[in-house]
Amino acid sequence: MPEPAPLWPLFDALAGLPLCLLRGANSDLLSPGTFAAMQARRPDAIAAEVADRGHVPFLDEPESLAALGRWLDLCRRGGGA
């Protein structure tokens, strides 16, 4: 089996940009540990876990809407790390 691609450098390249992290709680692609590591690498990011969703939340859940609303507000203010 091939080695997984090193994705952390790509994630780290988002430094300075407003970032919203969403995870479906039932995701089998984005583990809770990786989601926590993403938040640790970017403590300024807006993050939400959406209950009863797989890898891709529908984006109409209250958790998604609240996080995306905060992210849009941050973008409008020109925020970032």
4-9 long-range CB contacts below 8 Å, 24 or more apart? 8/41
**What's residue 21's pLDDT?**
98
* Average pLDDT per consecutive 10 residues, the chain (81 residues; last block may be shorter): 90 97 97 98 98 96 98 90 55
Whether residue 11 contacts residue 29, with contact meaning beta carbons closer than 8 Å, is answered with: no
pTM of the entire predicted model: 0.89
**What's residue 81's pLDDT?**
55
